[in-house]
């Protein structure tokens, strides 16, 4: 090959990776935008565009030559970003909002910049150490033994699935070792108000969910779980208690469910994706009595622990059980699987892993635990304050007393169409993002509060708009 022929393709092949004036300008431009966005105090709520609008405004964005960074970034800033709702906006009160600390968001850039591989100790020991320090702190907060451990995974859905897979593996091994037959169908026992990800995990695992009905309070109690344990006996993989339901923020009566361990041998999993963060605040800690007996639990830092999407802390009482269930074996992985070091990938259903616990580590290490307790506490107090405000208005009715930071209420006399109309107007006016929800077939309105910058005045303004 002549020199000329070789030079041009290789210059093109390294153009994206070489350190040149072009790539330096791109990095500067992107970091400048990121800095502006992270520190912006007036990013609007924004709202979705239709596919047709986006097609018209953005058009075809991919070509053989590329459009250049300046145009691509301008397209993102002026068209694509404004068509994404600002989930960290203080008036974003639907689903579960996000409320990352500035430190966590900024550090998320570093997780990318350092190209850390978070799956193995060999490749990412320092990152794994820091993540495990956070997990050890959480385990201590929840009363788990010092030997507890786990991994940060993508989200609560993957966390619940990974925990239940470990629980099934364990149940299967116990039955086998005791020479007892494997049940025809495995089951998981959970509240009828458990999160949809439990049903999703069961579907993936091809097992059944026994949905135990709950009373008016929405709380699952041990007394209701006992008959299901008796009925399904050997087939039970785990009992799932919810530590803060997504719809209502209701915490199951974990203590009475955990106490059943004295009568029955079962795996207790706590789904605390949204609510378990509240156990860090003295205002809510007593509601979580019994979690110290959990065999596994999850809590999502991207919900109420102030980190950007996406991150779930998954903890096991005995991580060795999870390691046996999840370690992937392959020749190219021998150097990892034959070591005794702590490899996060061995504890969940994913292999390649972003060190997605690091933004929480940085923010928590920076500000300390008390800042977290305080920031969580203000949302709990705000939920109770707005509940009193709702109770005092004759055109509104609380559906349930809030326990954590979700408040669900009805506008007396409104049809589903009235709620939809009101909700659309709130977003059109860029006032707030509150989508209608429902309970027992009745439409309602729901505030999910995790942002310490949301104020009582903000919420009262929304209540006033329903008059
Ligand atoms: C949000 C949530 C989940 C699912 O978590 P993702 O991170 O969205 O996958 C599971 N359980 C509960 C109680 C939740 O609130």
Tens-digit pLDDT profile for the chain (467 aa)? 444 444 577 788 999 999 999 999 999 999 999 999 999 999 999 999 999 999 999 999 999 999 999 999 999 999 999 999 999 999 999 999 999 999 999 999 999 999 999 999 999 999 999 999 999 999 999 999 999 999 999 999 999 999 999 999 999 999 999 999 999 999 999 999 999 999 999 999 999 999 999 989 999 999 999 999 999 999 999 999 999 999 999 999 999 999 999 999 999 999 999 999 999 999 999 999 999 999 999 999 999 999 999 999 999 999 999 999 999 998 888 888 888 899 999 999 999 999 999 999 999 999 999 999 999 999 999 999 999 999 999 999 999 999 999 999 999 999 999 999 999 999 999 999 999 999 999 999 999 999 999 999 999 999 999 99
Q: Is the CB of 156 under 6 A from ligand 1?
A: yes
CA of 168 relative to ligand 1 center, distance in Å: 21
Q: Is the CB of 273 under 6 A from ligand 1?
A: yes
pLDDT of residue 7: 53
pLDDT of residue 5: 47
pLDDT of residue 273: 98
Take atom 5 of ligand 1 and give the residue whose Cα is closest: 156
CA-wise closest residue to 136 among 357, 363, 305, 375: 357
CA of 272 relative to ligand 1 center, distance in Å: 8
The pick from 274, 288, 312 for probing ligand 1's pocket by mutation, whose C-beta has the most ligand atoms within 8 angstroms, reads 274
Q: Is the CB of 155 under 6 A from ligand 1?
A: yes
Cβ count within 10 A of residue 125: 12
CA of 246 relative to ligand 1 center, distance in Å: 7
List CB contacts of 60: < 8 A, sequence separation 6 or more. none
CA of 312 relative to ligand 1 center, distance in Å: 9
Element (DSSP H or E) covering residue 211: strand 208-212
Backbone φ and ψ for 66, nearest 5 degrees, come out as 80, 155
- What is the distance between the alpha carbons of residues 86 and 433, in angstroms, rounded to a whole number? 10
- What is the distance between the alpha carbons of residues 367 and 362, in angstroms, rounded to a whole number? 9
Q: Which atom of ligand 1 is nearest to the CA of 302?
A: 7
CA of 303 relative to ligand 1 center, distance in Å: 9
CA 388, 391, 393, 397 torsion-angle sign = positive
Strand order through the sheet with 396-398: 396-398, 406-411, 442-448, 437-439
Q: Is the CB of 131 under 6 A from ligand 1?
A: no
CA of 339 relative to ligand 1 center, distance in Å: 33
Element (DSSP H or E) covering residue 163: helix 156-177
Q: Is the CB of 157 under 6 A from ligand 1?
A: yes
Instruction: Give 13: exposed, middle or buried? Use CB within 10 Å, 0-12, 13-18, 19+.
Output: exposed
Element (DSSP H or E) covering residue 408: strand 406-411
Backbone φ and ψ for 59, nearest 5 degrees, come out as 65, -160
- Beta bridge pairs of residue 262: none
Q: Is the CB of 274 under 6 A from ligand 1?
A: yes
Backbone φ and ψ for 276, nearest 5 degrees, come out as -65, -20
Q: Is the CB of 242 under 6 A from ligand 1?
A: yes
CA of 11 relative to ligand 1 center, distance in Å: 46
pLDDT of residue 1: 41
Q: Is the CB of 281 under 6 A from ligand 1?
A: no
CA-wise closest residue to 298 among 101, 96, 144: 144
Reduce the DSSP state of residue 313 to 3 states and report it: strand
Instruction: Give 284: exposed, middle or buried? Use CB within 10 Å, 0-12, 13-18, 19+.
Output: buried
Q: Is the CB of 312 under 6 A from ligand 1?
A: yes
> Tokens standing for 93?
């009160």
Take atom 4 of ligand 1 and give the residue whose Cα is closest: 156
Take atom 14 of ligand 1 and give the residue whose Cα is closest: 273
Residue with tokens 């005995």: 318
Q: Is the CB of 301 under 6 A from ligand 1?
A: no
- What is the distance between the alpha carbons of residues 296 and 240, in angstroms, rounded to a whole number? 10
The pick from 94, 200, 246 for probing ligand 1's pocket by mutation, whose C-beta has the most ligand atoms within 8 angstroms, reads 246
CA of 420 relative to ligand 1 center, distance in Å: 25
Q: What is the CA radius of gyration of the chain?
A: 25
- What is the distance between the alpha carbons of residues 313 and 297, in angstroms, rounded to a whole number? 8
- What is the distance between the alpha carbons of residues 147 and 318, in angstroms, rounded to a whole number? 7
Q: Is the CB of 193 under 6 A from ligand 1?
A: no
> Tokens standing for 395?
């055109």
> Tokens standing for 187?
């089951």
- What is the distance between the alpha carbons of residues 304 and 152, in angstroms, rounded to a whole number? 15
- What is the distance between the alpha carbons of residues 313 and 304, in angstroms, rounded to a whole number? 12
pLDDT of residue 335: 85
Taken in order of first residue, the domains within the chain and their CATH numbers are 106-366 (3.40.640.10)
In order, the DSSP letters of 164-181 are: HHHHHHHHHHHHHHTTPP
Torsion of CA 110, 114, 120, 123, to 10 degrees: -160
The pick from 95, 195, 406 for probing ligand 1's pocket by mutation, whose C-beta has the most ligand atoms within 8 angstroms, reads 195
Q: Is the CB of 321 under 6 A from ligand 1?
A: no
Angular region, 298: left φ>0, alpha ψ -120 to 50, beta rest = beta
CA of 233 relative to ligand 1 center, distance in Å: 28
CA of 242 relative to ligand 1 center, distance in Å: 10
Contact 174, 184 (CB under 8 A): no
């Amino acid at each position: 090959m002549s020199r000329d022929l070789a030079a041009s393709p290789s210059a093109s092949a390294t153009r994206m990776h070489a350190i040149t004036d072009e790539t330096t300008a791109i990095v500067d431009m992107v970091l400048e935008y990121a800095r502006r966005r992270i520190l912006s105090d007036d990013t609007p709520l924004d709202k979705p565009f239709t596919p047709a609008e986006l097609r018209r405004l953005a058009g075809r964005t991919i070509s053989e030559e590329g459009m250049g960074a300046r145009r691509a970034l301008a397209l993102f800033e002026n068209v694509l970003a404004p068509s994404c709702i600002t989930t960290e906006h203080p008036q974003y009160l639907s689903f579960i909002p996000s409320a990352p600390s500035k430190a966590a968001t900024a550090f998320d850039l570093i997780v990318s910049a350092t190209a850390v591989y978070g799956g193995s100790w060999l490749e990412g020991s320092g990152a794994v150490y820091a993540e495990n320090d956070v997990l050890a702190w959480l385990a201590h907060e929840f009363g788990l033994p010092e030997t507890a451990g786990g991994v940060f995974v993508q989200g609560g859905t993957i966390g619940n699935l990974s925990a239940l897979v470990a629980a099934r593996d364990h149940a299967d091994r116990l039955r086998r070792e005791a020479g007892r037959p494997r049940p025809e169908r495995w089951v998981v026992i959970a509240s009828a108000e458990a999160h949809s990800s439990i049903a999703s995990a069961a579907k993936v695992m091809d097992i059944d969910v026994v949905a135990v009905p709950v009373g008016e309070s929405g709380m699952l109690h041990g007394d209701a779980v006992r008959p299901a344990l008796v009925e399904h006996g050997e087939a039970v993989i785990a009992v799932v208690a919810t530590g803060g339901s997504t719809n209502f923020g209701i915490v199951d009566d974990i203590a009475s469910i955990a106490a059943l361990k004295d009568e029955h041998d079962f795996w207790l999993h706590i789904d605390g994706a949204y609510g378990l963060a509240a156990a860090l605040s003295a205002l809510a800690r007593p509601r979580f009595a019994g979690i110290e007996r959990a065999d596994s639990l999850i809590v999502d830092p991207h919900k109420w622990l102030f980190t950007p999407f996406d991150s779930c802390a998954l903890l096991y009482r005995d991580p060795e059980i999870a390691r046996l269930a999840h370690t992937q074996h392959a020749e190219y992985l021998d150097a990892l699987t034959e070591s005794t070091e702590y490899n996060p990938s061995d504890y969940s259903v994913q292999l390649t892993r972003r060190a997605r616990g690091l933004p929480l580590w940085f923010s928590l290490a920076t500000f300390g635990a008390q800042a977290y307790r305080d920031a969580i506490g203000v949302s709990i107090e705000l939920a109770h304050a707005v509940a009193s405000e709702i109770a005092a208005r004759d055109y509104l009715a609380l559906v349930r007393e809030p326990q954590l930071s979700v408040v669900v209420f009805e506008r007396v006399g409104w049809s589903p169409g009235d709620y939809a109309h009101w909700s659309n107007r709130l977003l059109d006016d860029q006032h707030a993002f509150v989508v209608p929800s429902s309970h027992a077939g009745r439409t309602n309105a729901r505030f999910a509060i995790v942002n310490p910058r949301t104020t009582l005045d903000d919420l009262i303004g929304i209540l006033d708009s329903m008059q």
